[in-house]
Structure formats: C-alpha cells, structure tokens
Amino acid sequence: MTPTTATATATSPRTKSPVARIKRRQSLIHSALAPCMTCQPPTHSLDTLDISSASATAAFASLHFHVLSCLADIEASLSQLESPLPDFDFGQAISRGELKVEEVRAWAKDGLEMLRQIKGELRSHLPDFTLDSTSVESYVSSRLHDLSDVSTLKRMTSRFPDFPRLPRPEQYLLTLSNHLKSLHSHLSSSDTLSHVAFPSFPSTVKLSELIDAMISSDRVPAVLRPRSLSQTEDALGKATAEVARAVERSVHGAKLITYGDLPTEWRNNPFVTHGYRFIPLSKWPLIIASVFALHNETLNIHTHLVPLLLWTGNVILTFLGSSLSSASAAVVDTPILAFTIFALFTLFSSVVWHTMAGCAHHKGMVLCAKIDYVGIAWLISGSVGTIVYYGFQCNTNMRRIFLLICLINGLVGTVIPFWDWFNRSENKKWRIITFLSMTILITLGPLTQLALLHSVQETAAFIRPVVPSLTSYVAGLLFYATRFPECGGSHALWHIFIVRAISLHRDALPVLKDGVLGATTGVCPLLPS
C-alpha cells in the first residue's frame, strides 16, 4: 500500500460530503422507524379480546392493552421525528419542494399531542386489570356487617349525594373510537408525509372498528345496557357521540360526509347517500358560504333563491316606479301585493331551511325546518285569500268572514309545525295530509258559497285561470310525496313546480280581479249581504 493510498484511507471518514452524512442519517432513521411501525391491530373478531358475556370488565381490560400497545408503537416513531435532530433529507420529496423538515416535526408534534391525550383518557376510563364486580361486592359485604343492607354501589351512592360519580367504561367506547379515527385522519392527512416518513403505516381505524364491533355485539350486554343508567341518559349519550363523530368526519364542516356519517336525528332521506354538510353553528360563515358550494342541497337552495331575488327586485322596482311617477299612476293592488309577500316569505323560509339543513346544531336546524312549514301554510292561505277577495267583491260581509278563516288557517299553520311530532321524518305522510286538509277546508267553503250566490258554471269560469297553478302544485306534490326520482333530485323538481305554480297564480290575479261576473257588467247584482 502506497503512502498516498494510506493517507486517503485514513482520512476518508472525515472528508465525506455533508450530503453523504445526511443520507446516512436518513437510512439510519428509516431503519429505526421500520421496526417500531409494525403495530398490527387486532382483527375485527371479538374473539381477540376474549370477551365473554359474564365479564365485560375483562373485555375492557383486553381492549385497554391492545390500544395502548398500538399507541406505544406510534408514539415511539413520532418521538424520533419530533426530537431535535439535525435536518435530514427525505429524498425526492424535499428536492421537489413537497416536504420540509419543519413540516414533518410539526406534523409529528400534533400527532403526539393527540396520541398522549388519548392515552391519558384511556387510563382513566378503561380498567387495566380484570376484577369481577360480584366478588368485590361479596368481599366488602362480608367484612362490613354494618352496611349489609347496602347491597349495591348504586344504593350506597344514593345515601351520599356528594359521592363522586365513578367513570364508566361503556360510556367512553364511542369517544375512544372517534379519537382513534381522528388520530388516523391526522396521520394520513398528507400522503407525502405518511409514505415517506412511515413506510409501514399502522391503521388505527381497525382499532376503532373493533371498538364499534364491540359496542354492537350482544356478547357484551353490560356495555350496551348498563343497569346504572336510564334509557334517557343512554339516548342522550349516543346522540352526543354521533354528533361529535360527524363533526370530526366532516373536519368541522370543511368536508362533505355520507348519509351513514350523519347522526340519527339528521337522517331524513336515505335515497341521497353522499354530499352532506355538517357544519358547527360556531362556524356560521361556512354555512353561509355553503350556499354557493356544491353539495346535496345546492339545487334545493337555488331553485328558490333565484326566483326570490328576481321577484324581490321586481317588487322594489315597482314601488320605486310608483313613487317616482305621477299621482295618476296605478297603485299596486292590495291582494296582489299580499300574495307576493306570502310567496316571497315561502321562498325565503325554504332557502333558510335548506341552508341550515347542513348545520350541526340540532335545535337551529329543526327551527328552520319548522319555519319552512310555516311558509307553506301562509302560501296556502294567501292563495285562497286572493280567490276570496276577488270572488266576493259584491258581498263584503262574506268576504270578511272567509278572509278571517284564511287568516286563522295561517295562524294554525304557524302553530302546528312547532309540535314535536310534526317534523319527524316518519310523519311525512301526516304533514302532507295536514296541508292538503288545510287547503281543502278553506277552499271548499268559499267555492260552495259562490256557487250558491251565482251558479256552478259561473264559479267554474271564475276559478278557471288558477287551474294551471293548481295543476302545478299537484304535480310538485307528487314528486314530494313519492320521492321519484330521488337520485335525480326530486325535491328540487318539487321546488320548480312550486315556483311555477306561484308564477301562474300571480299571472291569473289580474283576470280574477274582474270578479265572478267578469268585466262585462261592471256593477254588482243585487245579492244578499
């Protein structure tokens, strides 16, 4: 070996380029990460947890072990990325500018915070050892003879109102499942990060699916039906968990979710399976912005929003024109103006409801649905009211009576939607029957009276201009009732027919203004007042 060769050999470890040292460190990091990221969550089989109907506590303890084992593997890997190491290379991802070390560390830090929060809650809610509750009660009662009449913990706590409520594992399962899904969403939020930093990425979703299977299993009835909780508390807890899960899956309103992701109270149309919003009320700007976004309610909103804006603008221009014109200009007819206002209110309430249908605040969503029904009631009353006003021009007393009935009908239609049963999805047919009954009841009386005062032929000729409007209402109602074709947006078709019916009725009013006898006589016959 020559001196030159010996010198090169001796100094080569100290003269390696920085790039070579960084690549060497990268390979070391990846070799360290790979063994840690071999967390293999249990399969969906409940046999993995060794669950028996006799001991739910054992199931919780086994689940506690499985979850902590998987989280420990993930934490070990994330901790290496978060540690203050010199900047290392992530291959082509960094060279293309797709990835930065700071992003990796921030991503790892957020993941660690979520993970450690889950571990802290897990230790406080799920048992880490198996102990049969029956044996505990027997042991305590055998040694505390003075409290022999207190056979259960529930009875004992009832004697001590200030006794703290102990954590119950069954109440935490849904929360744990949602937390694991949120952690998985964070870890897989960036394909570049997850594939480059974690070549063998674990699936925490499988753990959450195992928990869901455990909740729905009849092999752990104590989990499903804890004897210490009332059915009301169970339902409330389930509803709260469903809302929390839907908010998480929608990323707090930023993404659309499926029908299956919706909480039970938000499900009213199983034929539309995708494109649902679920936006917290605190993010109300997102709710407003969603009016102009694509989702399952887009057509339902704009089929009423567009005519609402056009007709509102027309009303404003009409009033401005009247105020700027001469005193001899024609004044807007009161029945036409009243009907237009009722129609605009119906369209406005519909737009508000379909916008708020994507709100995660249940009371706010239900309130807007009820207001939508109120708008329909007043549209019915306003439509029939125009027929009454023009049909009884020669009999003012009868006109006042039937207009009062229309007013009462509108008030009744304002109250009924606020009954709890009315807005339930299973009562849709009763809502249809209610509105049809209201329409028939307030229409049958005036038409019968007109036929008695004049004749059936004259009455039929008087209402003939509104028949096209009535036909459009009926056609729209068929789409609403049958939900056909729902995949093509039958509710939007119902909206289109309603808008068409309003327009046709509005066009018929100048003809109705001539009255039952038409414009031929110009005078009222001698009729009883």
Give Cβ neighbours of residue 284 (< 8 Å, ≥ 6 apart).
Answer: none
User: What's the pLDDT score for residue 207?
Assistant: 64
Q: What single letter denotes the amino acid at residue 89?
A: D
In contact, 170 and 222? CB cutoff 8 Å: yes
The region of weakest confidence among 53-67, 108-122, 255-269, 458-472 is 53-67
Comparing CA positions, the residue from 298, 297, 295, 205 lying closest to residue 255 is 295
Q: Which residue reads 């239609």 in tokens?
A: 413
331 DSSP assignment = P
Cα 100 from chain centroid (whole Å): 36
Rounded to whole angstroms, the Cα distance separating 304 from 176 reads: 42
Burial level of 339, CB count in 10 A (0-12/13-18/19+)?
Answer: buried
More confident residue, 21 or 388: 388
Work out the pLDDT band at 97, boundaries 50, 70, 90. low
Work out the pLDDT band at 397, boundaries 50, 70, 90. very high
Cα 375 from chain centroid (whole Å): 22
Mean pLDDT of 455-466: 94
Give Cβ neighbours of residue 404 (< 8 Å, ≥ 6 apart).
Answer: none
Q: Is 491 part of any known ligand binding site? A: yes
Which helix (H) or strand (E) segment holds residue 104: the answer is helix 101-125
User: What's the pLDDT score for residue 520?
Assistant: 46
What's the chain's average pLDDT? 75
Rounded to whole angstroms, the Cα distance separating 258 from 250 reads: 9
User: What's the pLDDT score for residue 303?
Assistant: 96
In contact, 126 and 174? CB cutoff 8 Å: no
In contact, 50 and 58? CB cutoff 8 Å: yes
Given a cut of 80, whether residue 222 has pLDDT beyond it is no
Top mean-pLDDT range of 77-81, 208-212, 248-252? 248-252
Q: How far apart are the first and last CA of the chain?
A: 132
In contact, 177 and 157? CB cutoff 8 Å: no
The tokens describing 472, both together, are 């459009």
The tokens describing 158, both together, are 């009832």
Q: Render pLDDT for 28-42 as a digit per residue (tens, 0 to 9).
A: 434 433 434 445 444
Rounded to whole angstroms, the Cα distance separating 134 from 145 reads: 17
Given a cut of 80, whether residue 19 has pLDDT beyond it is no
Residue 276 forms beta bridges with which residues? 257
Rounded to whole angstroms, the Cα distance separating 243 from 362 reads: 9
User: What's the pLDDT score for residue 51?
Assistant: 46
In contact, 442 and 381? CB cutoff 8 Å: yes
User: What's the pLDDT score for residue 426?
Assistant: 87
Q: Render pLDDT for 101-130 as a digit per residue (tens, 0 to 9).
A: 677 777 778 888 888 888 888 777 766 655
User: What's the pLDDT score for residue 4?
Assistant: 43
If phi > 0 it is left, if psi is from -120 to 50 it is alpha, else beta; for residue 77 that is alpha
Q: Is 495 part of any known ligand binding site? A: yes
The region of weakest confidence among 82-91, 261-270, 341-350, 478-487 is 82-91
Predicted TM-score (pTM) of this structure: 0.58
User: Does residue 485 have a cis peptide bond before it, meaning omega lies within 30 degrees of 0?
Assistant: yes
Q: Render pLDDT for 315-350 as a digit per residue (tens, 0 to 9).
A: 888 877 766 665 444 556 889 999 999 999 999 999
Q: Which residue reads 């509005």 in tokens?
A: 506
In contact, 272 and 486? CB cutoff 8 Å: yes
Q: Render pLDDT for 494-511 as a digit per residue (tens, 0 to 9).
A: 999 999 999 999 999 999
More confident residue, 298 or 209: 298
Mean pLDDT of 46-69: 61
